[in-house]
Amino acid sequence: MRVAILAGGLGSRLSEETDVRPKPMVGIGGRPIIWHIMKHYEVYGFSDFYVAVGYKGDILKRYFLDYTLVSGSVAVSLQEGEARSLEDAQEHWSVNLIDTGNDTNTGGRLKRLEPWLRDGTFMLTYGDGVSDVDVGALIDFHRAHGRHATITAVRPPSRFGELIFGDDDTIRFKEKPQMGEGWINGGFMVLEPEVFDLIDGDDSGLEGDVFERLSEEGQLVAYRHESFWQCMDTLRDVRYLRELWESGNPPWVTWE
């Protein structure tokens, strides 16, 4: 099963980082966040990726083109002007980087991937969110319900700390707790090719247009994920993810 990743947006709310790189290339622990996402899928046996690039897509392309040369030991022949890796890449991925335009909306980006994804069930996620979601259980859930689309529903972390009161008015402060209310689409979706028929063109939004139509037709279900999920929308999110990485036990790392 192929995995599609939306990685072409402007990332304007994270301009401190995205002025010079696309958001999926913002680093955590020396690796871009898109690498962390792909490593998670690899744990479940998925290694065929289709990345919808747009804004500063050349940086994503260059990263994967040079991947084996920059991630290990290298031998350089100055006389011949050639370089070769001395190590095999640990990641046995096939990465297809599809140019979907700078101004294309999310649904339109997916539509542009149709020639490569039309022949069967595929997965889709955003290039700026990490999670420990059980991808195998997610796929089983999708197949059991037999709908055109399954999204992973998550409860986003609160923007504010939570005060938990004791009996004597003492409090315990909990930073960025999981919300006890409301669910949102956390990515990590499983889709059938019929979804492409609902995308009108480049201006179509994935959630506002495509998923609303699927919902009206009774073809959209949600897999509830109660454990870790975190997006990278703001500089605060970047710092939080980096702190989790530096803690030595980042909750989204399932490959060690």
- Could you tell me the residue ranges of all domains in the chain? 2-75+83-246
Q: Which residue has the tokens 């991630």?
A: 71
% of the chain residues with pLDDT over 70 = 91
pTM for the model? 0.88
- For residues 118-142, b (16+ Cβ closer than 10 Å) or e, as one string? eeeebbbbbbbbbbbbbbeebbebb
Euclidean distance between CA atoms 48 and 121, whole angstroms: 13
What mean pLDDT value characterizes the chain?
Answer: 90
Compute the average pLDDT of residues 199-225. 93
CA separation, residue 121 to residues 100, 150, 214, 217 (Å): 21, 11, 16, 19
In CATH, what is the architecture of 2-75+83-246?
Alpha-Beta Complex (3.90)
Euclidean distance between CA atoms 237 and 4, whole angstroms: 23
- Band of pLDDT at residue 169, cut at 50, 70 and 90: low
Compute the average pLDDT of residues 160-176. 63
The pair phi, psi for residue 219, each rounded to 5°, is -110, 20
% of the chain residues with pLDDT over 90 = 71
- Band of pLDDT at residue 69, cut at 50, 70 and 90: confident
Compute the average pLDDT of residues 122-137. 97
Structure token pair of residue 184 = 């949102």
> In the prediction, which pLDDT does 164 show?
67
- Please say if the pLDDT value at position 180 is more than 60: no
Euclidean distance between CA atoms 211 and 221, whole angstroms: 10
- Please say if the pLDDT value at position 71 is more than 80: no
- Band of pLDDT at residue 183, cut at 50, 70 and 90: confident
